[in-house]
Structure 1
Amino acid sequence: MTHIRKSFSEDTVFPFHFVYRDTKSPQAELPDHLHDRCELVYVYSGKGTFFINRTFYDMGAGDLFVIPGNTIHRATPDADHPVTSTAVFFASGFAQTSSLGDSYSGLHIFDLARKRKHYKVDLTEPLRGKIENMLSEINAELESKAAGYRHAIRLQLQSLMLSLNRLVLSAEPAAAADVQIGPQWMKEILHYIDSHHAEPGVSLSALAQKVSVTPAHFSRVFKQLTGMNVTDYVNAKRIVLAKELLLGTSESIDTIAGRCGFESLPYFHRVFKALSGITPGTFRRVGLAPYSPSPPI
């Protein structure tokens, strides 16, 4: 099985990772497509496409992408105009604020993206400048490592999330059109898998037959556009569902494996560990544990 999981350091005190103003060619883009962290990607320059969950988006200067944890995604920079961007990765609890008597959630924009299955945010010009300044300040804190820098970064991240949440709370953003990448059947099959991945029989041959192309052609185009083969893609979707059920229900792991389309429990365990780095049981225990904020530095 191809590993499509991006790994982070196991720092439960400071679950934050930052890649500042990085320029990547298509060949240098990471092959990983799935991780547990929330992710923000802000684009400074260049062009490309971003495949997130089931949709292709154009990438350009001033674009912001909001990627909830356990969402399949892949950036493909233009070979002649490589993308320069900043990526922010953090555990969900790291950006949350304590309740102050209102219904505000620091992760509202991520919850909205997951619900709508739309991951690109239209930013105003002033907000673009504000975001760039915030990202620069976070980078300065990481480089200086002055006393309390972790606290400063957490506060800056929470301020960044507040600005983004106010943007989406103040207006209904118009959903950008799905960019047509590849043949029309590719778009149709991605939407089909999104709705039917937990059902038995979602295989390369069955999917190819559904859109009336040969399995070899289907496999080649699918891998070229998503960066994954069909089996890995379907399994990744199933593991995302399994994680939701592990944390959101008290069902047994055996029952969850069946509900997610896995025919055997050993195979479910093997796929889950390959994509998550831990077993289903460990994921359930860790996921239900409360987040502990950073101690004083």
Structure 2
Amino acid sequence: MKMFANYCFAPFQKSEFDFFVRSVGHFCLARIDKGSWKKAHFGEIFWGVDGAGYFVLDRKQYLLKPGYVWYYPPGSQHYFFPAGEFFEYRWLTIDGRQAHNLFQGLGIRAGVHYAGECPGALFNKLELEISFPERKRRLAALSLAFSILTLAVSGTKRTTRRKGCAEEARLMIDEDFSDPELNIERIAELLHVNRVSLSRSFSRLYGTSISGYLSGRRIQAALEYLKNTELSIAEIAGMCGFSSASYFSRVISEATGRPPGKIHF
């Protein structure tokens, strides 16, 4: 797949309006874009199109998949990167004195939530409108952005027939493995099922134990951080659900044959 980074900025950085569209873009990345790691004074949404990306908030890592939206409020430290071979997404930023209240008023909260298929046509129109400084065109851009934001909060996740508690457990691990309190007892409690029955169902369906799958997800995420970021060993351990840096180092050494410091670039 071809990688690209298309974006447009408004030809002004201040407005008579309390909020305005600052920028919009369409990216497909195969590697980390460190230029996007910043503390931003504006609000920004990311709408997953294809592939997947990891986003970090409050030292926890979250997966953004197609059909899901991530929101960083004004004042947030932005930190995200591709979760696999590539990550395609659309993004939109809103600036201004009342930008935070706009997102809050629409019920858009920091983090990830389901939104449905990305409205690519609206993003394309916005890319055209944002380039013009005239008041009429700025209002048109704001109208398009508002349409995108209202779609982002109106998505209704389709219900599918699942295989039962084992798949629920796997989904819970995929979403919450960064929580150090997550273990088989906690998962069984949250799903209101017997721990032994859950363990047997999971092993039959996935060919591994719950603890093994959970450990694997944490190790996978940790290796991504070690190879692609400059975070400290202690920070990575905390973000990937390890109870301590020493335990983290032992697990990574046993899994790879090398201590974290030898993997960390």
Give the Å deviation of 1:159: 3.0
Q: What are structure 1's unaligned runs of at least 5 residues?
A: 1-7, 97-104, 169-173, 193-206, 225-297
User: Is 2:50 the counterpart of 1:52?
Assistant: no
Determine what percentage of the aligned residue pairs are the same residue.
11
Q: Measure how far apart 1:109 and its partner are.
A: 6.9
Aligned-partner SS, 2:176: coil
Higher RCO (C-alpha 8 Å, min separation 6): 1
Residues of 1 paired with 2:121 and 2:175: CA distance?
A: 29
Q: May I ask how many residue pairs the two structures share in their alignment?
A: 177
C-alpha distance 142-32 of structure 1, shift in aligned 2 (>3 A): same
> Which blocks of at least 5 consecutive residues in structure 2 are unaligned?
1-9, 157-170, 178-217, 224-232, 251-258
Superposed displacement of residue 88, structure 1: 1.2
SS at match of 2:102: coil
2:96 is the alignment partner of 1:87: no
- With 82-91 and 183-192 compared, the bigger mean Cα shift is at 183-192
Q: Partner letter of residue 106 of structure 1? A: L
Given the alignment, which residue of 105, 115, 120 partners 1:123?
A: 115
Q: Provide the residue aligned with 1:141 in structure 2.
A: 129
Change (3 A) 1:31 1:122: closer
Question: Once the 2 structures are TM-superposed, how far is the Cα of residue 39 of structure 1 from its aligned partner?
Answer: 0.6
Partner residue of 1:152 out of 105, 120, 140? 140
CA distance in 1, matches of 2:144, 2:127: 11
Q: Indicate which of 39, 45, 56 corresponds to 1:34.
A: 39
**Matched residue SS, 1:50:** strand
Shift of 1:16: 3.2
What residue is the counterpart of 1:11 in the other structure? 13
In angstroms, what is the RMSD of aligned CA positions?
4.3
Q: Tell me if 1:189 matches 2:191.
A: no
- The answer to whether the Cα contact below 8 Å between 2:115 and 2:151 also exists between their aligned partners in 1 is no
Q: Which has the larger radius of gyration?
A: 2
Report the AA paired with residue 154 of structure 1.
Answer: L
Structure-1 separation of matches of 2:95 and 2:261:
34
Q: Residue 30 of structure 1 aligns to a residue in which SS?
A: helix
**Residue aligned with 2:48, SS:** strand
Structure 1 SS opposite 2:80 = strand
Counterpart pick for 2:102 among 82, 101, 106: 106
Quickly say closer, same or farther: Cα 1:111–1:220, change in 2 above 3 A. farther
Q: Quick check: 1:95–1:106 contact (8 Å CA) kept in 2?
A: yes
Give the conservation status (yes or no) of the 8 Å contact 1:39–1:67.
yes
Q: Residue 51 of structure 1: CA displacement?
A: 2.0
Question: Partners in 2 of 1:43 and 1:212 — Cα distance?
Answer: 31
Deviation of the 1:76 alpha carbon: 1.2
Instruction: Report the counterpart of residue 23 of structure 1 in structure 2.
Output: 28
Write the distance in 2 (CA, Å) between the matches of 1:53 and 1:9: 33
Q: Secondary structure at the match of 2:90?
A: strand
Give distance in 1, aligned partners of 2:39 and 2:154: 27
User: How big is the shift at 1:166?
Assistant: 4.8
User: What CA distance in whole angstroms lies between the structure 2 residues aligned with 1:156 and 1:113?
Assistant: 20
